[in-house]
C-alpha cells in the first residue's frame, strides 16, 4: 500500500505516480491524498480521458473489492535499446513497465557508428511494425538507450568510451530523436541495470550497488534511493581501479593493471586463447567442460578475488546494504565464491554486518528494463503529465 502523500497539492500527475506502483481504488486514493472524493474523481477523469489510466476490468460492481484504477498499459509503448560491446538487444515495454518482447542481435559497436545507427533505426522500425504477436498496438512514446560507456546525462553524448573510442562524442540520442520524433534518453548500462533492479526488485533499499562482471566490469550506484551518476556520468567506473594480480596488462585507458584490463571477461578470454584454450566468448567460461580446465579455474578465481577486493574497498567507503551481481561472470560459481570470500575478508565488520550480496533477478534483461523505466519515468513524470493535461485541456 502506498504511503500517505497528503495535501491539496496532490495534482493529477501526482496521483498518476501512486497508480504506477499498483492499482488503487478511489476511496483509497482519497484516504492517501487527503483530497475529497469529488476532487479525486475529477483528477481521475482527466487521467482517464487522456488515456493515462484505466479502471481494473472484471471487478467493477461485482467483486467485494472496490474498483481499482491503474496506469493503462496501452497508453503507449517504449523501446529499450541495449547496446553491448558484443551484442545488441531491442525490447518493447508497455506503459506499466511490462517487457512485451525482446530480441538479441549479434550486432556490435565494433562497426562504424554511422553504420550502426542506420542499422539500429531500421531494426527498430521493423520491430515496431511487426509489433507484439503480430499486432502493432499502441503508439511508440519514447526510446531508452543503454550504452557501455559513461554518458553525459544532459546531452546523451558518450563520454570517453574506452572500449569503443571511435564512438567518442557520438550522439545516438540526437540521431534517434530526429528519426522517430519521440523523447529519447540514454544512460550508462550499469547505471540502468542498477535502476531497473532497484525499482523492480528492491524498492525499499536505500543504498545499493549493481556490479556488472561481463566482458567489461562496471558498477551502478543507488544512493539514498536515487541513482548516482556523478558530474559527467562517470560514477561507478570501477573497471579502471588498479588490481594486484599476476595477470598484468596495459589498459585501454593507458594505465597498467586496471581490474577490467587484467581480469574482465574479455581479458580472460584473450588470455586463455593465448594459452591455447579453445574458447569463443565469456559465455563459454560457464560451460562445465571449460570451467573444469585448471587454467580456467585459476583465472576465474583470480577474477573473483580481484572484483571482491575492489568491492570490499567500496563497501567500506559506501556502506551499501545490498550488492547485486550481474553479467556473465556473475553466473560462475568459481567467481562468486572467490568474490564473496575476498569481499568479506577485505571490508570492516561494521560495513558488512547487514550486507547482502545476491545475483541479479533481472538477468540478461537488466539493462533493457532499466532503459525502458528511464523513459517511462520521463514520460509519466508528475510535472510533465500535469503540463500535458493543462495544455491539451
CB of 140 to Zn ion, least distance (A): 38
30 lies in the site for Zn ion, by CB under 5 A: no
- Give dist(CA 304, CA 236) in Å, integer: 18
Angle at 259 between CA 256 and CA 265, to 5 degrees: 120
251 vs 357 by CB, closer to Zn ion: 251
138 vs 230 by CB, closer to Zn ion: 230
Residue 83: strand, helix, or coil:
strand
CB of 165 to Zn ion, least distance (A): 12
> How many CB atoms sit inside 10 A of residue 142's CB?
23
Give me the phi and psi of 252, to 5 degrees please. Answer: -65, -20
251 lies in the site for Zn ion, by CB under 5 A: yes
99 vs 253 by CB, closer to Zn ion: 253
Q: Which one of 48, 253, 355, 364 is in contact with Zn ion (CB under 5 A)?
A: 253
107 vs 251 by CB, closer to Zn ion: 251
Q: The cell 585507458 sits on which residue? A: 253
Q: The cell 474523481 sits on which residue? A: 41
- Give dist(CA 277, CA 293) in Å, integer: 9
Instruction: Pick the piece of the chain touching Zn ion (CB under 5 A) from 32-40, 218-226, 237-245, 365-373.
Output: 237-245
CB of 147 to Zn ion, least distance (A): 18
Total residues in contact with Zn ion, by rule CB under 5 A: 4
CB of 252 to Zn ion, least distance (A): 6
> Hey, CA dihedral for 52, 58, 62, 66, is it positive or negative?
negative
185 vs 251 by CB, closer to Zn ion: 251
13: cell is: 500527475
147 vs 279 by CB, closer to Zn ion: 147
Here's the x/- map for Zn ion, 291-310, by CB under 5 A: it reads as: --------------------
- Yes or no: say if 88 and 81 are a contact pair by the CB < 8 Å rule: yes
- Give dist(CA 247, CA 102) in Å, integer: 37
CB of 11 to Zn ion, least distance (A): 47
- Give dist(CA 126, CA 185) in Å, integer: 20
CB of 392 to Zn ion, least distance (A): 50
- Give dist(CA 21, CA 385) in Å, integer: 16
What lies within 8 Å, CB to CB, of 268 at 6+ separation is: 282, 285, 299, 300, 303, 329
> How many CB atoms sit inside 10 A of residue 393's CB?
7
197 vs 237 by CB, closer to Zn ion: 237
- Give dist(CA 224, CA 205) in Å, integer: 8
Q: Using CB atoms within 10 A of its CB, is residue 166 exposed (0-12), middle (13-18) or buried (19+)?
A: exposed
CB of 236 to Zn ion, least distance (A): 14
Here's the x/- map for Zn ion, 181-220, by CB under 5 A: it reads as: ----------------------------------------
Instruction: Pick the piece of the chain touching Zn ion (CB under 5 A) from 79-87, 101-109, 256-264, 282-290.
Output: 256-264
Instruction: Pick the piece of the chain touching Zn ion (CB under 5 A) from 53-61, 246-254, 330-338, 376-384.
Output: 246-254
CB of 92 to Zn ion, least distance (A): 35
376 lies in the site for Zn ion, by CB under 5 A: no
Task: Tell me which long-range contacts 48-56 makes (C-beta under 8 A, separation of at least 24).
Answer: 50/388, 50/389, 50/392, 51/75, 52/16, 52/380, 52/385, 53/16, 53/19, 56/23
Instruction: Pick the piece of the chain touching Zn ion (CB under 5 A) from 21-29, 31-39, 107-115, 248-256.
Output: 248-256
Q: Which one of 14, 89, 240, 271 is in contact with Zn ion (CB under 5 A)?
A: 240
258 vs 335 by CB, closer to Zn ion: 258
CB of 258 to Zn ion, least distance (A): 3
Instruction: Pick the piece of the chain touching Zn ion (CB under 5 A) from 90-98, 110-118, 127-135, 255-263.
Output: 255-263
258 lies in the site for Zn ion, by CB under 5 A: yes
CB of 241 to Zn ion, least distance (A): 9
Distances from the Cα of 313 to the Cαs of 225, 235, 306, 308, 370, in angstroms? Answer: 21, 15, 11, 9, 26
102 vs 252 by CB, closer to Zn ion: 252
Residue 123: strand, helix, or coil:
helix
- The residue ranges that bind Zn ion (CB under 5 A) are 240, 251, 253, 258
Amino acid at each position: 500500500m502506498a504511503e500517505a502523500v497528503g495535501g491539496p497539492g496532490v495534482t493529477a500527475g501526482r496521483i498518476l505516480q501512486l497508480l504506477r506502483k499498483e492499482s488503487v481504488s478511489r476511496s483509497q486514493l482519497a484516504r492517501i491524498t487527503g483530497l475529497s472524493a469529488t476532487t479525486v474523481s475529477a483528477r481521475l477523469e482527466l487521467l482517464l480521458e487522456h488515456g493515462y489510466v484505466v479502471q481494473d476490468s472484471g471487478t467493477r460492481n461485482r467483486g467485494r473489492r472496490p474498483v481499482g484504477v491503474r496506469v493503462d498499459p496501452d497508453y503507449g509503448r517504449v523501446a529499450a535499446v541495449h547496446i553491448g560491446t558484443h551484442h545488441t538487444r531491442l525490447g518493447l515495454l508497455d506503459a506499466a513497465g511490462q517487457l512485451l518482447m525482446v530480441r538479441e542481435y549479434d550486432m556490435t559497436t565494433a562497426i562504424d557508428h554511422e553504420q550502426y545507427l542506420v542499422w539500429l533505426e531500421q531494426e527498430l522500425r521493423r520491430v515496431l511494425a511487426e509489433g507484439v504477436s503480430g499486432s502493432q498496438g499502441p503508439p511508440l512514446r519514447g526510446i531508452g538507450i543503454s550504452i557501455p560507456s559513461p554518458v553525459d546525462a544532459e546531452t546523451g553524448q558518450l563520454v570517453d568510451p574506452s572500449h569503443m573510442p571511435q564512438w567518442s562524442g557520438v550522439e545516438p540520442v540526437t540521431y534517434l530523436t530526429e528519426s522517430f520524433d519521440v523523447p529519447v534518453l540514454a544512460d550508462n548500462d550499469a547505471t540502468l541495470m542498477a535502476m531497473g533492479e532497484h525499482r523492480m526488485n528492491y524498492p525499499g533499499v536505500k543504498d545499493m550497488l549493481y556490479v556488472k562482471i561481463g566482458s567489461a566490469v562496471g558498477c551502478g550506484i543507488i544512493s539514498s534511493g536515487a541513482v548516482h551518476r556523478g558530474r559527467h556520468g562517470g560514477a561507478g567506473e570501477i573497471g579502471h581501479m588498479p588490481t594486484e594480480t599476476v595477470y598484468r596488462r596495459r589498459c585501454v585507458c593507458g594505465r597498467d593493471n586496471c581490474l577490467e584490463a587484467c581480469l574482465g571477461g574479455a581479458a580472460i578470454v584473450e588470455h586463455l586463447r593465448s594459452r591455447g584454450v579453445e574458447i569463443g566468448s565469456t559465455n563459454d567460461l560457464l560451460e562445465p567442460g571449460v570451467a573444469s580446465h585448471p587454467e580456467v579455474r585459476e583465472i576465474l578465481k583470480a577474477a573473483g578475488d580481484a572484483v571482491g577486493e575492489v568491492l570490499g574497498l567500496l563497501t567500506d567507503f559506501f556502506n551499501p546494504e545490498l550488492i547485486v551481481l550481474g553479467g556473465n561472470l556473475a553466473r560462475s560459481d568459481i567467481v562468486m565464491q572467490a568474490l564473496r570470500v575476498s569481499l568479506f575478508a577485505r571490508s570492516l565488520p561494521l560495513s558488512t554486518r547487514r550486507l547482502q550480496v545476491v545475483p541479479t533477478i533481472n538477468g540478461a534483461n537488466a539493462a533493457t528494463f532499466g532503459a525502458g523505466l528511464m523513459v517511462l519515468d520521463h514520460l509519466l513524470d508528475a510535472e510533465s503529465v500535469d503540463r500535458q493535461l493543462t495544455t491539451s485541456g
